[in-house]
């Protein structure tokens, strides 16, 4: 066990490095209309996108900061660099990626993972996607997996039809910010009836100090098709604030099946303020599997709007809040059609003064008859000084809804620790094991390689939890 | 006409002139002045968690100024004392009347006018409390320093007629080891349902000494042209226990806030709340529990049935600060919708800083009447309507049964049954599915 822990410690350091890179282009710190225009011009975008960005920018400026959630008072928009371009273009071959960046992702294990078990992989370094590839056989079937900027240019019809329809620019202050300055992200299209057999993966890396990463992901899964998309995020610790404001839009057309898995492990100086939402059409299934272990403040509530009859939503959200961290996470299920179902499971662990918040909404709109929905959220508090908050909103407007909600907050029981210690474990190992068991609802949903990595992350977070 | 309501107060009668008149010669004027300023400064919903859910459109009470009432307590005839009760106190637009039976007198029960300068805790944070603290026009204090009073004290609160307001304060103080039970009946003379033009505001301020026990029940069955706002604040000494049963049946608009301040180690509250909304009724109810003492117990259960166009917002915040070691807390909010146009919102929140809790949990559910249950009851010979009635009454029964006086429980069953029959009769089509 001790040896394993040492290995984990090494890995943490492996994520914490940063590269001294000369950016090909970067905007000045701070955000003005000129910045927005500059980003759009750099990307040589169609006029409609510039208009969209400017409209979003106006809304961002006029919209007040949210009064709820985490502490955003120290977030200084004027210090952030909104666009940094590390590479000339998005490469399809790993060999063509600039050496410095290639080294970064090699250290993070990206090309290795691709060879092993992925259908495709994308890597974003600061503002731009530097590498994307998708297996040839899938390409032949019409599966598209590329940077969002490239997607806008190569697939304008699909792009324009769906972009901004799930998360409008005016949705919230941060969605407006993303809509104004977005860059990079993944564009995925899976044609009718195509089942993507292995996950597509995207990897997001913030390297530069005070950098804002504003990736925009658009995933369209056509009728009867299926997809598993995985994203991972890291950043070096700069001790000055970086900002990650992503928007993810997922459209699951009738009968489609989409699973979106996130393992968020930003460094502890990142503000992670993300809007993730999916539309599930008739008979479609959307699953968000979402884990948050990094960032200083995360505000993220993956949402699924059930638009068509018999659509199904599944959200598993886990969070680990350690020293100096606030994980304000949760889930939303909005039932807008008859006979739709949803299940939300939230699990959080807080320790060393961390704050873990579950904030969730279940809404059943008039007309959505025959809905079944269940919510379960549990929290573990490992020590005094840490805090757990639970805010579930349940709004039911149909008389034949079946809704159940349960929540518990507790600590690791002495009996469990005692039992495991009597079997030869140290107190720390016993706690690790119990916490891993508590979060198993998440890990069991992951491909095995990811489950192992996630367990290592948890062990890392848990190190010294009991002093 | 733009409908104005509590949501966009100021009320036209919430003025310096009004509080000067109400303070009758200056007593309590400084307290009222501070509260009036708080009332004008505070938002209707001060809790950001719930801001989006406050809905007070159904009240139009800005013309309903409170009259200045005599603070003296007049004697009621002995014949008004219900059988089995220790005392009766009536509070209405006519002021306060009371009759204390022999048992109450022997136990040393005191019923006195509330001092005009008695502060109302919470008035600086909550707008309804501030309104009552500024403009209360009647109030009394019940004290029982020690001993047990087994028979209940009946408090009748009679709502004012259309176009006027009654803002009443009821302070209850139980000394060390004292025991009492109180039954509140909140009603008014029948009037047609419609937009509320008459306001009843009540404040119940309960202080329990060490090991004191209080059973407090409240049945609110107001006519549906009234607005009813209430604040209840319970402060617990060491090992003090409160059993609270609240039934909200009547009124066009009900907005209630309950605060349990479990400061004393080993203190506990058991609360059951039943809410039945029909027609255009709106219920907006919040319970705050603060477990600041060690080994305190909070066991809160709310059940709501909503028919017609009724809307129910049932909210709760359970806070366990660092000092609250060994807390055992449960918050349950359960709803049943009887029509397609009814709406139920539940927000049971937890805020926990102390890991050493025995239990910190909440649960909620909303569901329709189970067709399997209807089928079973029909197979036993009940009609469809009888089956539905039985199931709804069964859903509410655990709350009704918690009332301490069997006569009161029986009265509540009748009130609920009448209301249920009305609701079911109005919606045969919706329920036939």
**Substitution target from A330, A388, A399, A416 for chain B, most B beta carbons within 10 A:** A399
Three-state secondary structure of chain A = CHHHHHHHHHHHHHHHCCCCCCCCEECCECCCHHHHHHHHHHCCCCHHHHHHHHHHHHHHHHCCCCCCCCCCCCCCHHHCECCEECCCCCECCHHHCCHHHHHHHHHHCHHHHHHHHCCEEEEEECCEEEEEEECHHHHHCCCEEEEHHHHHHHCHHHHHHHCCCCCCCCCCHHHHHHHHHCCCCEEEEECCCCECCCCEEEEEECCCCCEEECCEEEEEECCCCEEEEEEEEECCCCCCCEEECCEEEEEECCCCEEEEEEEEECCCCEEEEEEEEEEECCCCEEEEEEEECCCCEEEECCEEEECCCCCEEEEEEEEEECCCCEEEEEEEEEECCCCCEEEEEEEEEECCCCEEEEEEEEEECCCCCCCEEEEEEEEEECCECEEEEEEEEEEECCCCCEEEEEEEEECCCHHHHHHHHHCCCCHHHHHHHHHHHHCHHHHCCCCHHHHHHHHHHHHHHHCCCCC
Percent of chain B with pLDDT over 90: 67
Output the pLDDT for position B431: 43
Output the pLDDT for position B48: 79
- Per the CB < 8 A criterion, the answer to whether B93 and B161 are in contact is yes
Q: What is the DSSP letter of B295?
A: T
CA dihedral over B107, B111, B116, B119, signed as positive or negative: positive
Task: Express each pLDDT in A280-319 by its tens digit.
Answer: 999 999 999 999 988 899 999 999 999 999 999 999 999 9
Tokens for B319?
């806070």
CA dihedral over A433, A435, A439, A443, signed as positive or negative: negative
- Per the CB < 8 A criterion, the answer to whether B326 and B354 are in contact is no
Task: Express each pLDDT in A358-380 by its tens digit.
Answer: 999 999 999 999 999 999 999 99
* Cross-chain residue pair B343–A410, CB shorter than 8 Å: no
Burial string for A220-238 (b: 16+ CB within 10 Å, else e) reads bbbbbbbbbbbbbbbbbbb
pLDDT beyond 70 at A111:
no
pLDDT beyond 70 at B39:
yes
Distance of alpha carbon B428 from its chain centroid, rounded?
Answer: 31
Tokens for A65?
């900061």
Task: Express each pLDDT in A213-250 by its tens digit.
Answer: 899 999 999 999 999 998 887 666 655 678 999 999 99
Model confidence at B185, pLDDT cuts 50, 70, 90, reads very high
> Considering chain A, what is the average pLDDT of its residues?
86
pLDDT beyond 50 at A466:
no
Percent of chain B with pLDDT over 70: 94
| Mean pLDDT computed over B370-383 | 90
pLDDT beyond 60 at A43:
yes
- How far A157 CA sits from the closest chain B CA (Å)? 38
Residue position matching structure tokens 């990307």: A43
> Considering chain B, what is the average pLDDT of its residues?
90
**Substitution target from B298, B353, B355 for chain A, most A beta carbons within 10 A:** B355
Q: By C-alpha distance, which of B131, B134, B129, B152 is closest to B142?
A: B152
Contacts with A448 (C-beta within 8 Å, 6 or more apart), sequence order:
none
| Mean pLDDT computed over B402-421 | 87
Residues comprising chain B, all counted: 433
Model confidence at B429, pLDDT cuts 50, 70, 90, reads very low
The DSSP bridge pattern shows strands B153-158 and A341-350 to be unpaired
Output the pLDDT for position A208: 73
Which residue among B48, B342, B364 places its CB closest to the CB of A399?
Answer: B342
Output the pLDDT for position A462: 64
A4 CB neighbour count, 10 Å cutoff: 11
* Cross-chain residue pair A406–B363, CB shorter than 8 Å: yes
Model confidence at B291, pLDDT cuts 50, 70, 90, reads very high
Output the pLDDT for position A206: 75
Which residue among B339, B355, B430 places its CB closest to the CB of A383?
Answer: B355
Tokens for A81?
């660099």
- Coil, strand or helix: which one is B401? coil
Q: Using beta carbons and an 8 Å cutoff, which residues of B are at the interface with A? A: 48-49, 322, 335, 337-357, 359-368, 430, 433
Contacts with B388 (C-beta within 8 Å, 6 or more apart), sequence order:
B369, B374, B424, B431
Flag whether residue A379 sits within 8 Å of chain B, measured between CB atoms. yes
**Substitution target from A400, A409, A416, A465 for chain B, most B beta carbons within 10 A:** A409
- Per the CB < 8 A criterion, the answer to whether A336 and A313 are in contact is no
Task: Express each pLDDT in B201-253 by its tens digit.
Answer: 999 999 999 999 999 999 999 988 888 999 999 999 999 999 999 999 999 99
Higher pLDDT, A446 or B164: B164
Which residue among A366, A381, A382 places its CB closest to the CB of B352?
Answer: A381
- How far A413 CA sits from the closest chain B CA (Å)? 9
Chain A CB contacts of B335 below 8 Å: 396
- Where do the structural domains in chain B lie, given as residue ranges? 6-306
Chain B CB contacts of A390 below 8 Å: 348-351, 362
Q: By C-alpha distance, which of B246, B320, B235 is closest to B285?
A: B246
pLDDT beyond 70 at A52:
yes
Output the pLDDT for position B382: 93
Q: By C-alpha distance, which of A193, A182, A199, A153 is closest to A60?
A: A182
Higher pLDDT, A20 or A14: A20
Q: By C-alpha distance, which of B260, B235, B236 is closest to B246?
A: B260
Output the pLDDT for position B172: 98
């Amino acid at each position: 066990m001790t040896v394993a822990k040492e290995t984990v410690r090494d890995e943490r350091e492996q994520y914490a490095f940063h590269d001294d890179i000369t950016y090909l282009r970067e905007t000045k710190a701070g955000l003005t209309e000129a910045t927005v225009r500059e980003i759009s011009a750099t990307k040589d975008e169609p006029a409609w996108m510039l208009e969209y960005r400017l409209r979003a920018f106006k809304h961002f400026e006029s919209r007040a900061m949210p009064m709820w959630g985490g502490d955003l008072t120290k977030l200084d928009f004027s210090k952030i660099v909104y666009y940094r371009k590390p590479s000339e273009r998005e490469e399809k071959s790993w060999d063509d990626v600039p050496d410095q960046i290639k080294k970064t992702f090699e250290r993070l294990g990206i090309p290795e993972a691709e060879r092993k078990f992925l259908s495709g992989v994308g890597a974003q370094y600061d503002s731009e996607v530097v590498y994307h590839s998708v297996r040839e056989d899938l390409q032949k079937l019409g599966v598209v997996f590329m940077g969002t900027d490239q997607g806008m240019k190569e697939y304008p019809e699909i792009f324009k039809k769906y972009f901004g329809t799930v998360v409008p620019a005016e949705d919230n202050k941060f969605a407006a910010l993303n809509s104004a300055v977005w860059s990079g992200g993944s564009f995925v299209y899976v044609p009718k009836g195509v089942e993507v057999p292995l996950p597509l993966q995207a990897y997001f890396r913030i390297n530069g100090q005070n950098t804002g990463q504003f990736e925009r992901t658009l995933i369209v899964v056509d009728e009867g098709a299926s997809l598993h998309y995985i994203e991972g995020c890291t950043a070096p610790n700069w001790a000055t604030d970086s900002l990650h404001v992503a928007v993810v839009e997922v459209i699951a057309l009738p009968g489609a099946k989409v699973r979106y898995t996130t393992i968020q492990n930003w460094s502890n100086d990142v503000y992670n303020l993300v809007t993730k939402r999916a539309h599930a059409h008739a008979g479609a299934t959307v699953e968000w599997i979402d884990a948050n272990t990094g960032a200083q403040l995360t505000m993220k509530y993956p949402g699924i709007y059930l638009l068509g009859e018999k659509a199904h939503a599944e959200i598993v959200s886990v969070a680990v809040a350690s020293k100096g961290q606030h994980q304000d996470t949760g889930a939303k299920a909005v039932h807008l059609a008859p006979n739709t179902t949803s299940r939300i499971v939230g699990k959080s662990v807080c320790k060393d003064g961390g704050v873990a918040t579950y904030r969730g909404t279940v809404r059943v709109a008039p007309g959505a008859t025959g809905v079944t929905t269940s919510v379960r959220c549990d929290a573990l508090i490992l020590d005094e000084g840490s805090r757990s908050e639970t805010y579930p909103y349940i709004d039911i407007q149909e008389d034949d809804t079946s809704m159940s909600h349960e929540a518990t907050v507790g600590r690791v029981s002495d009996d469990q620790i005692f039992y495991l210690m009597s079997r030869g474990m140290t107190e720390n190992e016993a706690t690790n094991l119990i916490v891993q068991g508590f979060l198993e609802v998440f890990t069991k949903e992951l491909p095995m390689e990811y489950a192992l990595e996630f367990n290592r992350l948890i062990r890392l977070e848990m190190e010294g939890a009991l002093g | 006409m733009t409908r104005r309501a509590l949501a966009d107060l100021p009320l036209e009668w919430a003025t310096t002139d009004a509080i000067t008149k109400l303070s009758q010669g200056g007593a309590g004027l400084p307290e009222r002045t501070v509260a009036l300023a708080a009332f004008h400064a505070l938002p209707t919903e001060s809790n950001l968690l719930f801001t989006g859910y406050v809905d007070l459109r159904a009240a139009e009470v800005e013309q309903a100024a409170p009259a200045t009432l005599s603070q003296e307590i007049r004697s009621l005839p002995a014949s008004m004392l219900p059988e089995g009760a220790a005392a009766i106190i009536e509070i209405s637009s006519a002021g306060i009347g009371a009759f204390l039976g022999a048992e109450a007198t022997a136990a040393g029960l005191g019923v006195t006018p509330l001092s005009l300068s008695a502060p109302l805790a919470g008035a600086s944070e909550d707008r309804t409390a501030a309104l009552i603290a500024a403009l209360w026009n009647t109030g009394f204090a019940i004290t029982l320093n020690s001993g047990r009073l087994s028979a209940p004290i009946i408090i009748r609160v009679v709502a004012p007629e259309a176009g006027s307001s009654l803002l009443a304060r009821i302070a209850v103080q139980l000394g060390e080891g004292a025991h009492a039970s109180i039954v509140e009946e909140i009603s008014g003379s029948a009037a047609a349902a419609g937009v509320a033009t008459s306001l009843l505001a009540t404040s119940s301020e309960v202080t329990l000494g060490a090991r004191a026990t209080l059973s407090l029940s409240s049945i609110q069955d107001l006519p549906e042209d009234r607005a009813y706002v209430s604040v209840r604040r319970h402060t617990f000494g060491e090992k003090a226990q409160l059993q609270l049963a609240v039934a909200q049946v009547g009124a066009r608009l009900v907005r209630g806030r309950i605060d349990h301040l479990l400061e004393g180690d080993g203190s506990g509250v058991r609360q059951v709340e039943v809410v039945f909304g029909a027609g255009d009724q709106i219920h907006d109810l919040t319970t705050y529990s603060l477990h600041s003492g060690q080994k305190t117990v909070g066991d809160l259960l709310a059940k709501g049935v909503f028919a017609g166009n009724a809307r129910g917002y049932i909210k709760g915040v359970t806070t366990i600060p660092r000092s609250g070691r060994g807390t055992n807390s449960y918050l349950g909010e359960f709803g049943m919708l009887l029509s397609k146009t009814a709406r139920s919102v539940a927000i049971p929140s937890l805020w926990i800083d102390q890991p050493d809790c025995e239990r910190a949990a909440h649960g909620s559910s909303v569901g329709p009447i189970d067709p399997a249950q209807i089928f079973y009851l029909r197979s036993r010979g009940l009609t469809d309507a009888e089956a539905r009635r039985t199931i709804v009454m069964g859903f509410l029964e655990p709350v009704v049964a918690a009332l301490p006086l069997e006569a009161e429980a029986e009265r509540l069953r009748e009130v609920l049954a009448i209301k249920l029959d009305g609701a079911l009769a109005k919606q045969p089509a919706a329920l036939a599915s």
